[in-house]
Structure 1
Amino acid sequence: MTITEMLEKRARLWEQTKQFLNDHTDADGKMSAADVEAYEKMEADIAEIGKTIDRLAKQAEMDKKLAMPTSKPLVGNPGMPEKKGTASDEYRKAMLTAIRTKFRDVSNVLQEGIDESGGYLVPDEYDRRLVKALEEENVLRGLATIIRTSGDRKINIAVTAPSALWVEEGGQLTFGDATFDQKLLDAYKLHVGIKITEELLADNAFQLEDHILTQFGRAIANAEEDAFLNGTGIKQPSGVLKDAQVGVTIDTVDITGDDIIDLIYKLKRPYRKKACFITNDSTLAVIRKLKDENGNYLWQPGLKENEPDRILGYGVRTSQYAPKLAAGNVALAFGDFSYYNIGDRGHRTLQILKELFAGNGMIGFVMKERVDGLLILPEAVQVLKVAGGSTGGTTGSEDDGE
């Protein structure tokens, strides 16, 4: 079944689900236990189809890349520069050989990539593939602004802007002082280790590098996404939910359509142009049942390939690391997440541990990266919070969003 067919199937199932909810809800907004079970089954089917659509989209993208020519004729690129250092084919091949021989055979080519901590810089080609894996797995990396830096990165923020004043003919001009603040992107160390059997290393038929990159990419992406959302800023990035402004506070976990509308308009108009929602899957399940004042459901499935599902016209992404709907938690974040800056410090490195697991016939590999994240303008993201605790978010102003 194609992606388009899956999208159409999900849209049909959603219409059936809405009709079921309308037909089996009493005047008090309640359903019988049997009806609730049936509804949740239909809702789970919709969610599973959505995951299948995402998998098919990734598979199509991979097929497209694999179908591309692996090389181009020299006549088509007469001025094509020679790849050197960690970008060269020689470095990539030397790294793969070193991995398979447990770094016993380290060629001179790899000397260019020795890291100060004792590991080896990941080849550029693999590093790009790892970043791609992070973008696919990590919600924030697809929305935030990515900065590559070799040192601490200072970001200037305009605190006050000049204002225009009417002046009489021949009147005296007045000058105001523009003031600036600075945000600092640091670098926190994140690492992940895996163990591989010696037999697996010796099996040349196995695509070892793909296995390693997939495992490293998934583990790092999960740790990053958690930190980019919930990080404390102490020995880890500062998460979006820590610094975002609390736009709406509700007394109970019973979210209403009006609460979501209030949250949208708490965000100033310029930020709404590129805004989207981030929430937990369990919270989204609650929102799917909500209607606006005209009886229309707030949530609508994406009808085109690569198009996100929407709440009141704005895209919605889910993360397993977004807080669940509970007292004291942030239930929903809405804003322009490009104002969350992610600073990648240099290359990722790969290190081998030859002796640690030698008694078990295994080799350890450790990949490290240094990264930071910071919401540089807290007003760019507003959150809906359930009363009863102090988790996440800073108190926003009473601005009406305009």
Structure 2
Amino acid sequence: MAPTLTVPRNADELEDMLGDTSNIAKIAETPDTFKNFILDYAKGQARSDASIEAQIKEETQRQFAEILKNEQIDGINRLNLAPSWDNGGPAARSKYYNRKAAGAGLDKQFGNWADYLVATWAGSNTQEAFAARSEIKKIQNAFGSSVPSDGGFLIPESLRSELLSVPMEKGLVRSRARVVPMETLMVPYPTVDSTSNATSVHGGVTGYWTEEGGTLTDSAPQFGRIELLAKKLTLYSEIPNELFQDSLISLEQFMSVSYPEALLWFEDNAFIDGTGVGQPLGFLNAPAAVSVTKEAGQPATTIVWENIVKAYSRMLPSSLGNAVWIAHIDTLPQLLTMALSVGTGGSAVWVGDGGGEGAPPVRILGRPVIFTEKVSSVGTAGDINFVDLGYYLIGDRQAMQMSTSTEFKFGNDKTAMRVIERVDGTPWIKSAITPRKGSNTLSPFVKVATRA
């Protein structure tokens, strides 16, 4: 009969017990006595320490989840732990995915660009392709006038949101602007008609100091509205038919890399200096934009420190923490060699990276500098700008179409392909704002005027 042992209640009792060699002999007398002693001590500790019990539960649940994930157990219907198109959506949706968009109804049928291109390519004459096109048109027609027909096929929402992921993350304007989803071709967006803070704010809100029991004076903001009207941006390419027939991998790469970069390029161009006629109104052409005039005697095509300081001073004070400098890359040499005049001498102005990484200059007066070739060249208005793009609205129609033609370039054995996006952009405020005190108007869009 195995010896009876008193199980220790804590570490101190365990230490005292093991200090007696006779107890060790009893514990290790057989494999079963040793195993039972360890289990009894562990159970006692778990009962007296809630944290140990919680750890045991957590580990038990983790192990059980692994069993359910990897083993098919009779009588148990497992959850689908590897989401696919079969459970209502893609495994890794872009964060710009909109389940209410017209193309969301096509997600289950087209999980990638290869499947979609095979189905919609004008050279595909299989029964499967005809059936797929019919399904696309059926969903497209269900949305009626809200998805105007351009003779093309509606792009699935998962692919559209994937196509926009590059512009949304890397676009100069889109990534910093206020993006408004558009469920129809025209969307009114509210704005406060604010032109002056001299006696009121937000277009008419006035505060009054009132005596106890005195009559309250009414004040109300003057609301206006901006109409975002989706405008058509078309991307066009001529692609060898061999790519459609033999190399869908290359075409997938083209659609997931080259087309997003093209969207990024042409959207930014319009959001920066678009005319507003048949295209977005760029922030450089905004009625609310203010220009900083050149200094007296300033040489042509130059940038001086005073230009920078005065541009900074015309920014809305509430936007100073959000504003960024957007400058043409040609301005870099002059920005790095600017000097501050002091009497008959002077000193260089250090334009550095503010402690971060990257090619200098990255910051001016503490705010980031974004270099681009999309704004005006050095010396002309808009070559260096100080802007808060939170005051720029982008209306995103969220319904793209694609069409192909094998006939237009038949003699070249090429397929003409076009993708149509509908988008609009406009500044959120309509005029510069007169400050409560001071004569210089303020704006979220500031540019240095031409130095000719």
TM beyond 0.5: yes
What RMSD, in angstroms, separates the aligned Cα atoms of the two structures? 2.9
- Which of 64, 67, 74 aligns to 2:80? It is 74
Among the aligned pairs, what percent are the same residue?
23
Q: Does 1:102 align with 2:154?
A: no
Q: Does 1:260 align with 2:308?
A: yes
- Which of 176, 183, 197 aligns to 2:219? It is 176
CA distance in 2, matches of 1:85, 1:168: 61
CA separation of 1:295 and 1:201: change in aligned 2, threshold 3 A: same
Partner amino acid for 1:85?
Answer: G
- Which of 239, 242, 248 aligns to 1:199? It is 242
Residue 111 of structure 1 aligns with which residue?
134
What is the Cα deviation at residue 163 of structure 1? 1.6
Task: Report the more deviating stretch, 163-172 or 317-326.
Answer: 163-172
> Do the aligned residues in 2 keep the contact of 1:137 with 1:218 (CA within 8 Å)?
no
Residue 105 of structure 2 aligns with which residue?
85
What is the Cα deviation at residue 336 of structure 1? 1.2
What is the Cα deviation at residue 235 of structure 1? 0.8
Partner amino acid for 2:448?
Answer: L
- Which of 263, 283, 287 aligns to 1:240? It is 283
What is the Cα deviation at residue 278 of structure 1? 0.7
Q: Does 1:366 align with 2:441?
A: no
What is the Cα deviation at residue 296 of structure 1? 4.2
CA separation of 1:75 and 1:202: change in aligned 2, threshold 3 A: closer
- Which of 297, 316, 321 aligns to 2:369? It is 316
CA distance in 2, matches of 1:146, 1:121: 22
CA separation of 1:89 and 1:318: change in aligned 2, threshold 3 A: farther
Task: Structure 2: state its 5+ residue gaps.
Answer: 1-77, 90-103, 141-148, 194-202, 342-346, 432-442
> Do the aligned residues in 2 keep the contact of 1:137 with 1:222 (CA within 8 Å)?
no
Task: Structure 1: state its 5+ residue gaps.
Answer: 1-71, 389-402
Q: Deviations over 1:216-248 (max 9, x none)?
A: 222232221111111010111000100052241
CA distance in 2, matches of 1:233, 1:320: 21
Secondary structure class of the residue paired with 1:74: coil
Task: Report the more deviating stretch, 137-146 or 263-272.
Answer: 137-146
Q: How many residues align?
A: 315
CA distance in 1, matches of 2:162, 2:422: 17
Q: Based on CA coordinates, which of the two structures has the bigger radius of gyration?
A: 2
CA separation of 1:306 and 1:217: change in aligned 2, threshold 3 A: farther
CA separation of 1:189 and 1:155: change in aligned 2, threshold 3 A: same
CA distance in 2, matches of 1:183, 1:86: 32
Q: Deviations over 1:17-68 (max 9, x none)?
A: xxxxxxxxxxxxxxxxxxxxxxxxxxxxxxxxxxxxxxxxxxxxxxxxxxxx
CA distance in 2, matches of 1:232, 1:374: 10
Q: Deviations over 1:159-191 (max 9, x none)?
A: 224221112233222112321111111111110
> Do the aligned residues in 2 keep the contact of 1:302 with 1:309 (CA within 8 Å)?
no
What is the Cα deviation at residue 325 of structure 1? 1.6
Q: Deviations over 1:87-120 (max 9, x none)?
A: 2254646413225672423243443433522211
What is the Cα deviation at residue 254 of structure 1? 2.4
TM-score (norm: length of structure 2): 0.63
Q: Deviations over 1:127-178 (max 9, x none)?
A: 1221123235531112112222122121211222422111223322211232
- Which of 278, 284, 293 aligns to 1:249? It is 293
Task: Map 1:1-400 to 2 at 5 A.
Answer: 74-75=80-81, 81-83=87-89, 85-90=105-110, 92=112, 94-99=115-120, 102-105=123-126, 106-114=129-137, 115=140, 116-135=149-168, 138-151=171-184, 152-159=186-193, 160-204=203-247, 206-243=249-286, 244-250=288-294, 252-291=300-339, 295-300=348-353, 303-304=356-357, 309-327=362-380, 329-377=381-429, 379-387=443-451
Task: Report the more deviating stretch, 89-98 or 236-245.
Answer: 89-98
TM-score (norm: length of structure 1): 0.71
Secondary structure class of the residue paired with 1:273: coil
> Do the aligned residues in 1 keep the contact of 2:337 with 2:349 (CA within 8 Å)?
no
> Do the aligned residues in 1 keep the contact of 2:180 with 2:395 (CA within 8 Å)?
yes
